[in-house]
Amino acid sequence: MFQKILIANRGEIALRVLRACKELGIQTVVVHSTADADAMHVRLADESVCIGPPPSRDSYLNIHQIVAACEITGADAVHPGYGFLSENAKFADILVAHNITFIGPSGDHIRIMGDKIEAKRTAKRLGIPVVPGSDGAVTDEKEAKRIAAEIGYPVIIKASAGGGGRGMKVALTEADLDIALQTARSEAGAAFGDDAVYIEKYLQKPRHIEVQVFGDGFGRGVHFGERDCSLQRRHQKVWEEANSPALNAEERSRIGGICAKAIADLGYSGAGTIEFLYENGEFYFIEMNTRLQVEHPVTEAITGIDLVHEQIRVASGGGLSVRQEDIKFNGHAIECRINAEDPRTFTPSPGTITHFHTPGGLGIRVDSGVYSGYKIPPYYDSLIGKLIVHGRNRVECMMRLRRALDEFVVDGIKTTLPLFRDLVGNADIANGDYDIHWLEKYLAKEE
Ligand code: ADP
């Protein structure tokens, strides 16, 4: 097992990882920018190293500084959290070259999944169902027309290097195809320095369903069930649940089994999430994230397994603590992402939190790095906490969520809490009847 882990992140996820390390008796080092000197994870860590000024590129994305912090403190492993360097293959490779363990998959696996064309090709080869579309990059318009006619309109043009929902264009008919192709390509070139794009069928009312997987480092793969993250705004997840209200046990075990086998065949090590669109009973792979997800606590709630413990065990060569047959799904969990944003316009609302009171009681978990008097710096993303609620079934979970939202107090800034208080009383949400466009339509109606 590791002696000392360096946590290369900030906010709630840095604290989340720190808690797991403490439980496992592992010393912790955190790195932080000058803007985060007062952060909770800095206060609670055994050691901290300031690695630079507030902009992420000078601190949390500064590989040299982070490696230097490992050398100075003698850390033998790095947990990257999510975001920042968590899916940076070069970072993983550099750590390995310095004899420091990257708590995540190999650089090569990160590289494959970071290139969407390559990822889709790999998924298909591994027997994962994919969205019908072009085999690889599409360059000329003739070819694009031929493929689109074959799969049928509407189609979506997507950037191979895409991320965060950028570089995507929908063509409803052949008349839109040329312009969609050109715009997607130039947007991708400008945003990612790579203008390769591909075509796939545009699904009109899908749900976003993702499967949590793990490779144990010895060639075995397991799945921890799925999460439904269909409630999104601008492709950003807002509310996540496990299990999905749309799947039955047979579908869960079928898609889970396919994913676990793929992970084993790939020789993947550590945590990963295979994302699908789900429509009319069919799954369509869209991408794989090679890291811990923001929404991992809903999976922890229904399985009772600490996924960060498992990541650390696997990275240290100790394998998983569970086998597939030990993983049981208990009840229902929902996570609400609480952002420092206006609940209608979603404009960021940084500033000082004058009062912060979290709900408690059975089935309630709050993962947050903030506290009363904390000043939210304007430099980073606006997530200030996550409310995760567990119940024996979805009805109990929703009742408990409504009560927890009532208890939650965040004064001094605007947050997305009022949005969740509205959603919890909505009939479609109560029925679990929503697709990936539901929230945008709901917000447009409310305006
Ligand atoms: P990114 O890496 O930019 O987040 P994804 O491939 O994960 O890109 O897609 C992000 C979102 O875009 C999906 O959650 C979905 O809302 C939409 N999307 C992507 N592909 C399709 C498709 N084939 N049909 C319909 N919507 C899609």
CATH number at residue 183: 3.30.1490.20
Q: Which of 81-90, 182-191, 381-390 has the lowest mean pLDDT?
A: 182-191
Give the pair of three-digit tokens for residue 214: 């793990």
Contact between residue 43 and residue 61 where contact means Cβ atoms under 8 Å apart: no
Residues 167, 91: one domain?
no
Catalytic residue among 207, 291, 313, 365: 291
Residue with tokens 């413990």: 309
Residue 428 lies in a domain: yes
Active site residue 291: yes
Cα separations in angstroms, 295 against 269, 348, 362, 366, 374: 20, 21, 20, 12, 24
Site to substitute for ligand 1 among 160, 277, 288, 438, most atoms within 8 A of C-beta: 277
Among candidate residues 103, 119, 148, the one where a domain is terminated? 103
Ligand 1 atom having least distance to the Cα of 204: 25
Amino acid at 20: A
Of 150, 181, 201, the residue at which a domain comes to its end is: 201
Domain that holds residue 292: 207-446
Residue 55 has pLDDT above 80, yes or no: yes
Looking at the structure, do residues 172 and 246 belong to the same domain, yes or no?
Answer: no
Q: Judge if 40 and 89 occupy the same domain.
A: yes
Same domain for 213 and 172: no
H-run or E-run covering 411 = strand 409-411
Same domain membership, residue 90 and residue 143: no
Provide the pLDDT for residue 446: 80
User: 235 C-alpha to center of ligand 1: Å?
Assistant: 7
**Same structural domain for residues 352 and 396?**
yes
Whether pLDDT at 447 is above 80: no
Whether 356 has a pLDDT exceeding 90, the answer reads yes
* CATH classification at residue 307: 3.30.470.20
Tell me if 208 CB under 6 Å of ligand 1: yes
Q: How far apart are CA 316 and CA 414, in angstroms?
A: 42
234 lines ligand 1 (CB under 6 A): no
Residue 162 has pLDDT above 90, yes or no: no
Q: Which of 179, 201, 223 is the last residue of a domain?
A: 201
- Rounded CA gap, 433 and 306, in Å? 29
* Same domain assignment for residues 46 and 175: no
pLDDT of residue 430 exceeding 80, the answer is yes
Q: How many A from CA of 162 to the centre of ligand 1?
A: 10
159 lines ligand 1 (CB under 6 A): no
109 in any annotated domain:
no
Indicate if ligand 1 lies below 6 Å from the C-beta of 286: yes
| pLDDT for res 260 | 98
In sequence order, the 6+-apart residues with CB closer than 8 A to the CB of 246 are: 207, 209, 228, 278, 432
121: exposed, middle or buried (Cβ count in 10 Å: 0-12, 13-18, 19+):
middle
Give residue for tokens 């592992």: 26
On average, the pLDDT of the chain sits at 96
User: Integer distance in angstroms from the first to the last C-alpha of the chain?
Assistant: 53
286 alpha carbon – ligand 1 mean position (Å): 7
Any domain includes 87:
yes
Judged by average pLDDT, the poorest of 139-143, 281-285, 293-297 is: 139-143
pLDDT of residue 385: 98
Output the pLDDT for position 60: 98
Domain count, the chain: 3
If one compares 178 and 446, the residue with the highest pLDDT of the two is 178
Residue from 286, 287, 438 to probe ligand 1 pocket by mutation (most atoms less than 8 Å from CB): 286
User: Which of 108-117, 166-175, 409-418 bottoms out in mean pLDDT, i.e. has the lowest?
Assistant: 166-175
- Answer yes or no: is the C-beta of 162 below 6 A from any ligand 1 atom: yes
Note whether residue 119 is domain-resident: no
| pLDDT given at position 277 | 98
- How much is the average pLDDT of 51-55? 98
d(CA 43, CA 255): 42
Cβ–ligand 1 distance for 87 under 6 Å, the answer no
Please say if the pLDDT value at position 439 is more than 80. yes
**pLDDT of res. 244:** 98
Of residues 166, 148, 150, 147, the one with CA closest to residue 158: 166
Residue whose CB lies within 8 A of the most ligand 1 atoms, among 116, 208, 235, 283, for a mutation test: 235
Looking at the structure, tell me whether residues 218 and 187 fall in a common domain: no
Give the Å distance between the CA of 365 and the centre of ligand 1: 29
Q: In this model, does residue 7 exceed pLDDT 80? A: yes
Whether residues 320 and 440 share a domain: the answer is yes
Mean pLDDT of 74-86: 98
Q: Note whether residue 123 is domain-resident.
A: no
Question: Which of ligand 1's atoms lies nearest the C-alpha of 206?
Answer: 25
Is residue 33 in a domain? yes
In this structure, is residue 114 part of a structural domain?
Answer: no
Q: Is residue 362 part of a domain?
A: yes
Answer yes or no: do 67 and 147 share one domain: no
Query: Domain holding 33: CATH number?
Result: 3.40.50.20
Distance 174 CA to ligand 1 centre (A): 21
Range with lowest mean pLDDT among 139-143, 214-218, 398-402: 139-143
Instruction: Examine the domain organization and report whether 41 and 183 are in the same domain.
Output: no
Q: Say yes or no: 258 and 393 in one domain.
A: yes
Inform me whether the pLDDT recorded for 165 exceeds 80: no
Confidence of residue 222 (pLDDT cuts 50, 70, 90): very high
Q: Is the pLDDT of residue 164 over 80?
A: no
